[in-house]
Structure 1
Amino acid sequence: MDFITILFIGVGLAMDACAVSLAKGMSLDKDKVKKYALILALAFGFFQALMPAIGYFAGSHFTDYIQSIDHWIAFILLSLIGINMIKEGKEEKEDEVKIHSISFKDILLLAIATSIDALAVGVSFAFLKVNLWIATTTIGITTFVLSFICVLFGKTLGNLFEKYAEYMGGSILILLGIKILIEHLFF
């Protein structure tokens, strides 16, 4: 798997974290936005990098048994994750009131919740024999940068983009699943 593909996977996986970052940015007091942009970006980036590594090691124990159908597994996992993200984008988001801080517990839960999809992607990485260091670093940095930016711009972008972020992320993951399937079946 080439770097550009991994980068697009990172962008796709980061969309949940971006949607949350936008929402939190919109609801934070103006003087707290920069502080929480850094905190949320670090938490989201760390967990988006950690979860594929966990999935990779869990999936690597089964590689010898499933290698002949690995492309189908990657396609199904990425498609299901993408469809789920699109479904979540359709759900109505409640307007949040201005908040002065976000608790450590809430940050941790948000980081874990937005990175669950990355666990399944890590399993598919094991089957595709992806370079884990490059993949997790790319995904973590991509999520960090995008989340940081989304918190900062959350004040001005409004609720509209939050909805489309999940559509875009889900679509990217589905398209990558299709690309992997086509590459393995025809090339």
Structure 2
Amino acid sequence: MIIDLIILAFSLGIDAFFVALSICLVLRNNIKKLIVFSSLAAFFQAFMPIIGYYITYYLNTKYMKIIQAIDHYLIFFIFAFLSYKLFKEFLDENKEEININYFSLFMLSIATSIDALGAGLMIFSLKYDLFMSIILIFSITFVMCISSFLISKIKANKKILQPIGSLLLLFLACKIVIVHILEDI
């Protein structure tokens, strides 16, 4: 059971990790925003399975299927918009620093955690301990996001790093939609 929960936590945290890496690549020395995003992402990654668990418990798996039918499109549009915004700011030669505001960090943390609603269904169905699941998901997601800071310290030209951050977000947006479409086939 514990191994399953650790694997679940890593698989839920991978999107948040790539977003955190994008944030680090774009905002080279802004550890405060990384910590804010990491905390928010870990919180929502842990909170969404609770919602999914109790929706499953009180209502029915039917509602989870409705949420899972549209969640990937919502995530796609949020990530694609933020990717566009970052890339547009990269192309704007008058602006020296890209600034990701706290509202964007909040929206990114929610977007990376929507798929965790389905984890609540799994936790309920397999009768895993909800509290242990939440602690593992929160901790692993937080550590994964913070570790992105070390990866971002690889020396490179900032003009190269800014579009990489944007492309990572666009890649995540496309990956999420493609994976969900393939699951429906």
TM-score with structure 2 setting the length: 0.65
Deviation at 1:27, TM superposition (A): 0.6
Match of 1:145 in 2: 143
The equivalent of 1:23 in structure 2 is: 22
5+ residue gaps, structure 1: 67-72, 174-187
For residue 123 of structure 2, what is the aligned residue in structure 1?
125
- 1:100-150 deviation line (CA, Å, top 9, x unaligned): 543221111101100000011112211221100010110011110101111
Q: How far apart are the structure 2 equivalents of 1:58 and 1:25?
A: 35
Give the structure 2 partner of residue 42 of structure 1. Answer: 39
**How many Å separate the matches in 1 of 2:38 and 2:17?**
9
Give yes or no for contact 2:37–2:106 (8 Å, CA) kept in 1: no
Query: With CA pairs under 8 Å and 6+ residues apart, which has the higher RCO, 1 or 2?
Result: 1
- Structure 1 residues 100-179: aligned runs within 5 Å: 101-156=99-154, 159=164, 162=168
Question: Which ranges of structure 2 fall in alignment gaps of 5 or more residues?
Answer: 91-95, 180-185
- Maintained 8 Å contact 1:52/1:120: yes
Tell me which residue corresponds to 2:93: none
Which amino acid letter does the alignment assign opposite residue 27 of structure 1?
A: V
**Offset at 1:24?**
1.1
SS at match of 1:31: coil
Query: C-alpha displacement at 1:154, in angstroms?
Result: 2.7
TM-score normalised according to structure 1 size: 0.64
Kindly provide the amino acid, as one letter, of the partner of residue 141 in structure 1.
Answer: S
CA-CA distance at 1:19 after TM superposition: 1.2
Q: What's the offset of the Cα at 1:40? A: 1.2
Letter in 2 for 1:22: L
Please, what is the CA RMSD of the aligned residues? 3.7
The range that moved more, 94-103 or 50-59, is 94-103
What's the CA shift for 1:162?
A: 4.7
Q: What is the Cα deviation at residue 37 of structure 1?
A: 2.0
For 1:61, the equivalent position in structure 2 comes to 58
Instruction: Give the Å deviation of 1:99.
Output: 4.2
Identical positions, percent: 27
Change over 3 Å in CA distance of 1:133–1:58 after alignment to 2:
same
1:36 Cα deviation (Å)? 1.9
